[in-house]
């Protein structure tokens, strides 16, 4: 009887609800109505936000697109209002949690309660107050019904976020049923043994892989019945963060799904400030961690040709203070700009909580305030720069070609409750390979084991560092690609004692007669099983084996010498690239922009000096100077006026609102600028000479008097500041 009910629901999902049909908000053909803007592919839209709220002048941040969150009673109204203001609208929802799904669990959807499908811990507690789910096929039918309604509303892009299964759970009856169906064996508790831990998390990984495959395939097939090409994206934390937080998710494996068109890299202060060990000290290193997180997402996406939006957030989920938010936001914002092959950005999630919610002023002043004027002005300048951010062939400064290999199974080995061994605290096995180089100014890349079959994943990689101390290969085929790369001249540094408990689980290498997964890899290159430390030649390449667990390089002070010295030697002698360039900073010229981050705990305490005719975008006053010194723990986002392509043409260089309708005549220059009501717009405008007159008018053509302007002779720029208006302010400069 239950199977018949599921079949009927599957059929009903493909039938439009009575009276609703497939008509979109924009009209009978489902097209959006936006003034003076032609329809174009979503991938051409550079900036977006996500929100569950109605359009409001207070949050009219003027990005290209908006992700309208969850199908609720006012979904169509929210969609309509954002569209009317000129935004490309998409649908966004979650797959693993959320209040909207309560109708499934409490019986309102199909007349049966499904509390046994909530993620459950060993003591029977529902994880995070019933907010996280086991994605059964029956639950996916419920989710598809929501997706269908959203598509009927007129969207042609769907974002399903955060496929998350917590590593410590797996005790619900729903999960036990999934275990039996997947493995065909009796369920085992996640903390029963290393093998039970691995199998439990491998199943969680499969369940959300299946969930996204089911949902996205449905969206694309249903869209085709409407004559639509539905694009599907996964907003997700990075593999680094999920492994740190003890969460299992499909991550890089989603690249193999034809239904996945790309990702949002959910990197922000809340993920990047997660503390890790380096040189024996555990603390937050937000900039360094963000650099690795964005690199993780770029390398996960680039080999498949998908689109990825880099996310930053001016606040975060934790209740902190405005000074803290600003400091860490600059760190993550700087890190994302150091990847010049990407210029797609989610400028902020949940703008309502940024502009309308109150937080303490600082760690020493608990007074609750809305976002301070200096921060909102700076924020507007930063996010509007993303609308203009160019791609660049330039590379971030430093010795290139050194990469760290990651695998999704990093998320499988985070539980060690069955052992006295502390395992891999704060993901130190990964940071033990990455931070010794990153902290010395080497821009370490990330490679994904799941992507080694794609030729693009090997681009520019000269040395690949890997370990099986904290992860294991899920497929033996990946080893053949690694071996072929070494044979053609690559240098593989394998760093592991291969003595962790997960080496002995009954996975494919054991079934094929290998004691350790590395033994299978080595056998493809003529290297003996459990080979001792040393260098081994294979074809034109080299395998360098270090018999240490890489976590040891960061858990103790001054312990990273073995890995750093080995890579430095191979880089110089085997790769022929010369000595590593050691420094305390990363710097990138990106069009007219200079981006820099200077690290503490590095090779020197000196500043990075940047010269030019510079505008400081991290200062709401947009000051101009000829030299900028950036000290350890500081970051810079600058415009160099000397690199403007056509300096004789009037143009906006920096702006705290979005600029429209620019017009240049022989007697002047003008434009309209729009931004969130209640914020101030600060601008730097390049002009051929000092203007004779500056005039501002509102949308009702009333002259504005509440503005200031000044002329900078050295840069030939006007600084202009005035209150933002969502309806638009017209600025005119007369010569």
In this prediction, residue 699 has a pLDDT band, given cuts at 50, 70 and 90, of: very high
The dotted CATH code for 45-387 is: 3.20.20.80
Q: What is the pLDDT of residue 128?
A: 60
Spell out the CATH class of 651-734: mainly beta
CB 497 within 8 A of CB 437: no
Quote the pLDDT of residue 269: 93
* Secondary-structure breakdown of the chain: helix, strand, coil percentages, each rounded to the nearest 5: 35, 25, 45
Q: What is the DSSP letter of 581?
A: P
- pLDDT-derived band at 125 (thresholds 50, 70, 90) equals confident
15 — pLDDT class (breaks 50, 70, 90) = very low
Neighbours of 29 (CB within 10 A): 11
The pLDDT confidence band at residue 124, using thresholds 50, 70 and 90, is: confident
pLDDT at 29 over 70: no
pLDDT beyond 90 at 35: no
Domain boundaries along the sequence of the chain? 45-387, 402-573, 585-643, 651-734
The pLDDT value recorded for residue 533 is 97
How many Cβ atoms sit within 10 Å of the Cβ of residue 106?
A: 13
- Is residue 39 very low, low, confident or very high in pLDDT (cuts 50, 70, 90)? low
pTM higher than 0.75, yes or no?
A: yes
- When pLDDT is cut at 50, 70 and 90, the band that residue 8 belongs to is very low
List, in sequence order, every residue forming a beta bridge with 349; answer none if it has no partner. 50
Structure tokens, 641: 């006026």
Classify 166 as helix, strand or coil: strand
Query: In the structure, what pLDDT confidence band is assigned to residue 145 with cuts at 50, 70 and 90?
Result: very high
Task: Answer whether residue 171 shows pLDDT above 90.
Answer: yes
pLDDT in tens, 338-373: 999 999 999 999 999 999 999 999 999 999 999 999
Task: Say how far apart CA 402 and CA 544 lie, in whole Å.
Answer: 14
In the prediction, which pLDDT does 256 show?
81
Give me the chain's average pLDDT, please.
Answer: 93
Of the candidates 344, 361, 341, 284, the one whose C-alpha atom is nearest the C-alpha of residue 310 is: 344
pLDDT above 60: residue 645: yes
For the stretch 420-458, pLDDT in tens is 778 899 999 999 999 999 999 999 999 999 999 999 999
**Burial tier of 75 (Cβ tally within 10 Å: 0-12, 13-18, 19+):** buried
Q: Tell me how far apart the alpha carbons of residues 488 and 484 are, in angstroms, rounded to a whole number.
A: 6
At residue 41, φ and ψ (nearest 5 deg) are: -60, 150
Q: What is the arithmetic mean of pLDDT over 670-675?
A: 98
CA 53 to chain centre: 22
Q: CB–CB of 632/641 below 8 Å?
A: no
Starting at the earlier edge strand, list the strands of the sheet with 534-538: 445-448, 402-406, 463-466, 491-495, 541-546, 534-538
Cβ neighbours of 332 (radius 10 Å): 30
Query: 3.40.50.880, 3.40.30.10, 3.30.930.10, 1.20.1560.10: which CATH number matches 402-573?
Result: 3.40.50.880
Whole-angstrom distance, CA of residue 679 vs CA of residue 58: 8
Residue 354: the pLDDT is: 96
The DSSP symbol for 107 reads T
């Amino acid at each position: 009887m239950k199977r018949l009910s599921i079949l009927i629901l599957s059929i009903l999902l493909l039938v439009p609800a009575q009276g609703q049909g497939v008509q979109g908000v924009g009209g009978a053909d489902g097209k959006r109505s936006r003034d003076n803007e032609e329809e174009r592919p979503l991938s051409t839209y550079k900036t977006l936000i996500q929100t569950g709220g109605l359009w409001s002048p207070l949050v009219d941040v003027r990005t290209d697109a908006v992700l309208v969150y969850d199908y609720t009673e006012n979904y169509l109204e929210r969609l309509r209002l954002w569209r009317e203001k000129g935004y490309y609208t998409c649908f966004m929802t979650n797959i693993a949690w959320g209040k909207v799904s309560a109708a499934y669990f409490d019986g309102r959807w199909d007349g049966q309660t499904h509390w046994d499908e909530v993620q459950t811990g060993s003591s029977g507690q529902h994880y995070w107050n019933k907010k996280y789910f086991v994605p059964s096929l029956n639950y996916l039918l419920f989710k598809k019904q929501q997706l269908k309604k959203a598509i009927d509303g007129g969207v042609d892009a769907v974002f399903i976020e955060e496929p998350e299964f917590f590593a410590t759970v797996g005790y619900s009856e729903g999960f036990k049923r999934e275990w039996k169906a997947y493995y065909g064996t009796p369920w085992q508790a996640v903390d029963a043994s290393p093998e039970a831990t691995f199998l439990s998390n491998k199943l969680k990984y499969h369940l959300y892989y299946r969930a996204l495959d089911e949902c996205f395939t449905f969206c694309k097939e249903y869209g085709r019945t409407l004559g639509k090409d539905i694009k599907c994206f996964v907003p997700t934390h990075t593999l680094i963060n999920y492994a740190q937080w003890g969460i299992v998710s499909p991550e890089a494996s989603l690249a193999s799904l034809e239904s996945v068109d790309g990702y949002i890299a959910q990197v922000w202060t809340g993920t990047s400030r997660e503390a890790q060990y380096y040189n024996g000290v555990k603390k937050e290193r937000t900039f360094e961690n963000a650099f690795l997180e964005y690199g993780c997402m770029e390398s996960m996406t680039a080999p498949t040709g998908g689109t990825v939006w880099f996310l930053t957030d001016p606040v975060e989920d934790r209740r902190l203070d405005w000074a803290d938010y600003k400091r860490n936001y600059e760190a993550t914002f700087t890190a994302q700009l150091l990847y010049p092959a990407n210029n797609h950005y989610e400028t902020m999630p949940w703008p309502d909580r940024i502009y309308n919610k109150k937080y303490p002023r600082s760690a020493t002043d608990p007074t609750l305030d809305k976002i301070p004027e200096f921060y909102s002005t700076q924020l507007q300048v930063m996010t509007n720069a993303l609308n203009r951010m160019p791609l660049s062939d330039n590379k971030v400064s430093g010795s290139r070609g050194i990469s760290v290999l990651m695998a999704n199974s990093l998320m499988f080995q985070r539980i060690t409750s069955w052992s006295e061994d502390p395992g891999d605290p704060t993901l130190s096995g990964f940071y033990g390979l990455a931070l010794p180089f990153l902290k010395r100014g080497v821009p370490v890349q990330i490679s994904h084991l799941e992507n080694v079959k794609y030729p693009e994943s090997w681009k520019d990689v000269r040395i690949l560092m890997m370990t099986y101390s904290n992860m294991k290969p899920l497929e033996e085929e990946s080893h053949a690609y690694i071996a072929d790369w070494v044979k053609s001249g690559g240098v593989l540094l394998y760093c592991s004692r291969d003595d962790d408990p997960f080496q002995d689980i009954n996975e494919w290498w054991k079934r094929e007669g290998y004691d350790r997964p590395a033994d299978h890899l080595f056998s493809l290159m003529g290297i003996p099983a459990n080979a001792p430390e040393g260098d081994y030649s294979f074809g034109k390449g080299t395998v360098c084996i270090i018999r240490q667990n890489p976590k040891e390089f960061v858990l103790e002070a001054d312990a990273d010498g073995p890995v750093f010295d080995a890579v430095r030697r191979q880089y110089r002698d085997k790769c022929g690239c010369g000595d590593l360039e050691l420094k305390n900073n990363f710097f990138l010229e990106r069009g007219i922009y200079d981006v820099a981050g200077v690290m503490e705990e590095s090779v020197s305490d000196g500043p990075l000096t940047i010269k030019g005719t510079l505008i400081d975008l991290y200062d709401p006053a947009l000051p101009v100077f000829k030299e900028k010194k950036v000290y350890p723990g500081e970051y810079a986002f600058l415009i160099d006026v000397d690199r403007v392509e056509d300096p004789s043409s009037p143009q906006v260089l920096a702006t705290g609102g979005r600029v429209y309708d620019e017009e240049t005549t022989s007697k002047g220059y003008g434009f309209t600028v729009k931004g969130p009501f209640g914020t101030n717009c600060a601008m730097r405008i390049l002009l051929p000479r000092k203007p004779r007159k500056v005039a501002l008018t509102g949308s009702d053509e009333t002259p504005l008097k509440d503005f200031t302007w000044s002329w900078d002779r050295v840069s030939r720029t006007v600084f202009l500041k005035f209150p933002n208006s969502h309806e638009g302010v017209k600025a005119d400069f007369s010569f």
